[in-house]
Amino acid sequence: MLSITAEVVHQALMFPKLVNALQVAFTESIEVPPRLHFDMENPNASRETTLLMMPAWQAGDVAGIKLVTVAPENSQKNLPSIQGTYLLLDVDTGSIKAMMDAPSLTAKRTAAASALAARFLSRENSSTLLVVGTGTLAPQLIAAHASVRPIRQVYVWGRDIKKALQVCQQVEHLNINCKAVDELEPHVKLADIISCATLSTKPLIFGRWLQAGQHLDMVGAYRPDMREMDDTCLTRSKVFVDNIESAVRETGDIAIPLAENVITQADINADLFSLCRKTFVFNRTDEDITVFKSVGHALEDLAAAKLVSEFVLKK
């Protein structure tokens, strides 16, 4: 059994190769049961610790399961908020092929899914990116979006501008002008793509700020009580998700507006399955605003884990 570190996962999963692999995976026959989501009471924190179990398999090939915990207040303990492992198995024999670091795998595939959506939904000449949030995903989202669009200017906003500056330092190798900013509204208005990856429970992005032609990439708000955008973002936009089944249940950005009849499920235009299989073709107009809401899908993990395993075996 291979034991694969976070460093090797990052080496193996380069953009846009991973973006392309996800696009193919969304067209293939991969079995993905509903993920198991448990909120475990934690008296030592103000919020529960979440346990996620995400299985997927491809007949006659490989299977995988991701075991992840999310402890939102871990930053106060100098620990990552997301921890866990990914197991890749051989379907034929049932044996474990590899065990690899799950947070790095998750960060890479999540950013790649956002870039894949942007490939279908954002303007082809999008050159300015605003990243909201300064966690592990921020530099990955910058690199992923820059692999599919001609990004030249990046703004990074977070509650701590020192952390925003650190994100810019982490992407210096991309040769993109990156600037940490302390005001959100004016930079939302400047951006072609707004990528939001936070643990916020209240909206950070407001629909009244949005401009024609923009694309919103909403990555955080992984629980039904979390939100990163307000209702107006949805009512002003054409809405897309990575997978409809999970999006309507698991993220407050979609579940709350559905429950309050702000939108209906019919207002979700398509998911990545429909876009990649070309059963839904989006023809953007100059006035369109698009929203992509990502909740994560075990298919993405399996496709990424296969790439990592192949990379290690070739070394």
**Residue 77 belongs to domain with CATH number:** 3.30.1780.10
Residues 18 and 165 reside in one and the same domain: no
Look at residue 48 in the predicted model and tell me its pLDDT: 87
Residues 101 and 157 reside in one and the same domain: no
Residues 91 and 161 reside in one and the same domain: no
Number of domains observed in the structure of the chain: 2
Contact call for residues 88 and 306 (beta carbons, < 8 A): yes
Q: Per the domain annotation, does 111 fall within a domain?
A: no
Residues 289 and 303 reside in one and the same domain: no
Residues 269 and 152 reside in one and the same domain: yes
Q: Across the strands, what pairs with 241? A: 271, 293
Look at residue 84 in the predicted model and tell me its pLDDT: 93
Q: Produce one character per residue of 229-267: b if its CB has 16 or more CB atoms within 10 Å, e if not.
A: bbbbbbeebbbbbbbbebbbebbbbbbbbbeeeeeeeee
End-to-end Cα spacing for the chain? 15
Residue-range definition of the domain harbouring residue 254: 122-296
Q: Per the domain annotation, does 93 fall within a domain?
A: yes
Residues 96 and 218 reside in one and the same domain: no
**The two three-digit tokens of residue 294, written as one number:** 């990502």
Residues 304 and 276 reside in one and the same domain: no
Q: Per the domain annotation, does 117 fall within a domain?
A: no
Q: Per the domain annotation, does 243 fall within a domain?
A: yes
**CB within 8 Å of 6: residues ≥ 6 apart:** 101, 103, 104
Residues 54 and 170 reside in one and the same domain: no
Residues 201 and 280 reside in one and the same domain: yes
Residues 148 and 286 reside in one and the same domain: yes
pLDDT-derived band of residue 155, with 50, 70 and 90 as boundaries?
Answer: very high
Q: Per the domain annotation, does 40 fall within a domain?
A: yes
pLDDT at 257 over 90: yes
**The two three-digit tokens of residue 46, written as one number:** 């103000």
pLDDT in tens, 3-12: 999 999 999 9
Q: Per the domain annotation, does 216 fall within a domain?
A: yes
**Residue 246 belongs to domain with CATH number:** 3.40.50.720
- pLDDT above 70 covers what percent of the chain? 100
Residues 234 and 161 reside in one and the same domain: yes
Mean pLDDT of 247-259: 94
Burial class (CB in 10 A: 0-12, 13-18, 19+), 310: exposed
Crossing angle (nearest 10°) for helices 102-121 and 298-314: 110
Q: How far apart are CA 97 and CA 195, in angstroms?
A: 34
Residues 152 and 69 reside in one and the same domain: no
Look at residue 80 in the predicted model and tell me its pLDDT: 81
Q: Per the domain annotation, does 255 fall within a domain?
A: yes
pLDDT in tens, 263-291: 999 999 999 999 999 999 999 999 999 99
Q: Per the domain annotation, does 114 fall within a domain?
A: no
